[in-house]
């Protein structure tokens, strides 16, 4: 009884076996969660160094001061 080898004997067949199309995995749909009111969310924000230095000059709490300044700008825009 002849058995087939585990690895292809022909290098071309071995190379072709590596590039077989990948099976597509079904991805579950993304469930969008609504943000809770008055909950702070971590974000990445690029600020000019002088703006950052201004808010950090008074010590701890600089993130809250930036938040307050942005909130004031938001209120003024209405």
Q: pLDDT grade, residue 12 (50/70/90)?
A: confident
pTM of this structure: 0.53
Spatial separation of the C-alpha atoms in residues 55 and 61, rounded to whole Å: 9
- How distant is the alpha carbon of residue 66 from its chain centre? 23
Q: What is the tens place of the pLDDT at every residue in 46-77?
A: 999 999 999 999 999 999 999 999 999 999 98
pLDDT for 2 beyond 60: yes
> Crossing angle of helices 62-77/49-56, nearest 10°?
110
Spatial separation of the C-alpha atoms in residues 19 and 15, rounded to whole Å: 7
Spatial separation of the C-alpha atoms in residues 29 and 73, rounded to whole Å: 37
Q: What is the tens place of the pLDDT at every residue in 24-41?
A: 888 888 888 777 788 888
**pLDDT at 5 (0 to 100):** 61
pLDDT for 1 beyond 60: no
**pLDDT at 26 (0 to 100):** 83
């Amino acid at each position: 009884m002849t058995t087939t080898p585990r690895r292809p004997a022909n290098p071309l067949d071995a190379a072709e076996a590596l590039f077989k199309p990948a099976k597509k995995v079904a991805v579950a749909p993304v469930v969008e969660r609504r943000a809770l009111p008055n909950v702070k969310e971590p974000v990445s924000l690029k600020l000019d160094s002088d703006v950052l230095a201004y808010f950090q000059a008074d010590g701890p709490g600089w993130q809250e001061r930036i938040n307050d300044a942005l909130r004031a700008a938001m209120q003024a825009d209405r």
